[in-house]
Structure 1
Amino acid sequence: MTVQLPPKGIYSPIPTFFKKDYSIDYESILKHVRYLYQAKVTGILIGGSTGEAINLTREERHEIIRRVRSEFPDPSFKVMGGAIGSCIPDLLDDIQGLKSLKVDYAVVLVPGYYGPGLTKQQGLVNFFQTVADSSKLPLLIYNYPGVQNNIDLTIESYIKLAKHPNIVGCKLTHYNFTLYTLICQNEEIKSANFRPLAGVGQVLVPALATGIEGCIDGLSNVFPKSMLKVFNDYGKGDTVQAAKFQELVTTVNEMTAVLNLLGLKFALNHILGIGEVLHGRPPIDQDIDESVWEKYLPAFEKLWAIEKGL
């Protein structure tokens, strides 16, 4: 039986909020997810890089998911879960836990610890095929060279992996439009059960032009309706309007490119009052440079005014 693909659309990789003692602020997380659910995003990713997964215990990640799924059992609201690590038996155990919590898809980062000198393409193919063979959930490949020692999967590797019945897509968190195009327009991949998603909303319109079918983007945490508008306008054929609105989205997204997940927390606190503290656990426990925030504030306020009217 063919595994169901992630629906096309916009997914929000949610940040993890903490209290002053660095314990998990579940109340703020749930308040944020309510905001996203009401905005009708396609789904969320819990335990990704924006969610500070590497600074959470497995028990904490799973408890966040448990609470979210308990409040939002709607099967049309897709929940992706980050499966952390590159030790295959441990990874499979993590995925088994995600499955028990009613996660829809496991997102697995390309392993990069040993760097491109030791890590060969066939080794990466073997890694994902081995995980997929035994995984209790369908997999999305998370390709983020910036955090994986600049290792990138090649088009040849994607062609092999897209044919695996339990690998249903990828999240491309980079600006390699050559690879976007090769993946989206390759006939072998197009005939497979495989959904390519972008991981950077700054370039959603050009990514859609290559054949990308959705986005897992940090800014959608703050402006979900705006990101959906870009996606839907393009899908309806109104590419001029989509590109025009993309310019404002991209301007604001440059703030998150500089401040990253801490900027998202700051922005969510600014507009929704979410969060007791606006930084993460050490080593990312320092407050943001507010001069960066002030630089982008006019564009931010302009987009927020539009967001409220959508």
Structure 2
Amino acid sequence: MSTQSKRSPAPPPGIYVPAVIFYNEDETIDDGPTADHVLRLAKGGVTGILVQGSNGEAQHLIREERIHLLKLARSTLDAAGFNNVIIIAGTGAQTTRETIVFCQDAAAAGAAFTLVLTPSTWAKNMTKDAILRFHRAVADASPIPTMIYNFPTVTAGIDLDSDTISALATHPNIVGTKLSCANIGKLHRLASLFPPSQFAVYPGASAVFAPGLLCGSAGIIGALVNLVPKCHVRMYELWLKGEREEAMKLQAMMAHADWATGRMGGIGALKGLISKNFGYGNGHVRGPLFEASEEALAKTEGTFVLELLELEKSL
């Protein structure tokens, strides 16, 4: 049982980005372009940065690297005057014990919230009761509020339904969820049950950003924000002002670009496009992932990627 007497605050609505990190050729972390990227995202107007999400290759990092990257992001933001930009730390691990350690590390390194994947090594043993017990135990022990990260692609197909997530949402230290399952029905059910100030629901893909807002989401935590943060902020502003037709034009472009970057090579493609268009970093990823080829990165024609990049540079 939780010993907390007061409900923790949820992250504010807005644009969040699971930031990529950059490596040297030998797969060691390259601090310079990683910090440059954090700074470009902040200047682009994002509300917060998710350090060590799936796009940040969290599962490829050792504990010391996780701590280092959180401190690097926080110090970079603070030194540039972006103290208000929130850091969410990905703290998923394969045991309850290690997940709690990562949550404690995240708090000490300056994160405001943690995003917790459900363990999946023993997927068949992760019954609903086991999932509830895990997330509640982590939330009980975490010194900062936790969020539930639902991403079946990286959890051996484990897909938390709205009943499970809504049961967890009543815990005083569980304050939100990222739905990388892109299930709008699930998002709508959750957003209709809880105000975003209590439990914030975010879609995990730009392809469903506006549909999520229509159904009551608190914004977005999406990979494509790495490439075009200003475009996402622009779309969100149009939506909030009631300029829905213009917002949906931009939403359509992002839906196409989200799909296209995935087909180009996912994380490696995002890094390659960032390097090619903004002058820092490279496309290196840690094995077993593959770097996107130049041929793949060149296939931007007709995908709305070029059009979005042009808009991004004009904003």
- TM-score, structure 1 length as denominator? 0.94
Deviation at 1:297, TM superposition (A): 3.8
**Which amino acid letter does the alignment assign opposite residue 84 of structure 2?**
S
CA deviations 1:102-158 (Å, max 9, x no partner) are 11101101222222x332112111111111111111001000011111111122212
**1:219–1:253 contact (8 Å) kept in structure 2:** yes
**Which amino acid letter does the alignment assign opposite residue 275 of structure 2?**
N
- TM-score, structure 2 length as denominator? 0.92
Residue 270 (str. 1) matches residue 272 (str. 2) = no
CA deviations 1:156-214 (Å, max 9, x no partner) are 2122111111001000002222211211112xx34981000111011111111111111
Residue 134 (str. 1) matches residue 141 (str. 2) = yes
How many Å separate the matches in 1 of 2:295 and 2:19? 24
Percent of aligned positions with the same letter in both sequences? 30
Residue 90 (str. 1) matches residue 98 (str. 2) = yes
Residue 206 (str. 1) matches residue 211 (str. 2) = yes
Residue number in structure 2 paired with 1:149 = 156
How many Å separate the matches in 2 of 1:125 and 1:289? 42
Deviation at 1:12, TM superposition (A): 1.1
Deviation at 1:89, TM superposition (A): 1.7
Residue number in structure 1 paired with 2:236 = 231
Given candidates 163, 171, 177, the residue that maps to 2:170 is 163
Give 5+ residue unaligned stretches, structure 2: 1-5
CA deviations 1:202-247 (Å, max 9, x no partner) are 1111111111111111111110010111222112222111111111
How many Å separate the matches in 2 of 1:192 and 1:223? 27
**Which amino acid letter does the alignment assign opposite residue 246 of structure 1?**
Q
How many Å separate the matches in 2 of 1:174 and 1:303? 24
**1:141–1:169 contact (8 Å) kept in structure 2:** yes
Calculate the aligned-residue CA RMSD, in Å. Answer: 1.6
Deviation at 1:4, TM superposition (A): 2.0
**Which amino acid letter does the alignment assign opposite residue 210 of structure 2?**
V
CA distance 1:180–1:54, shift in 2 (3 Å): same
Give 5+ residue unaligned stretches, structure 1: none
**1:255–1:292 contact (8 Å) kept in structure 2:** no
How many Å separate the matches in 2 of 1:162 and 1:149? 23
Give the length in aligned residue pairs. Answer: 305
**Which amino acid letter does the alignment assign opposite residue 107 of structure 1?**
L
Given candidates 30, 39, 42, the residue that maps to 1:34 is 39
Residue number in structure 1 paired with 2:3 = none
How many Å separate the matches in 2 of 1:205 and 1:224? 15
CA distance 1:72–1:177, shift in 2 (3 Å): same
How many Å separate the matches in 2 of 1:243 and 1:200? 15
How many Å separate the matches in 1 of 2:296 and 2:192? 38
Residue 106 (str. 1) matches residue 106 (str. 2) = no
How many Å separate the matches in 2 of 1:118 and 1:71? 41
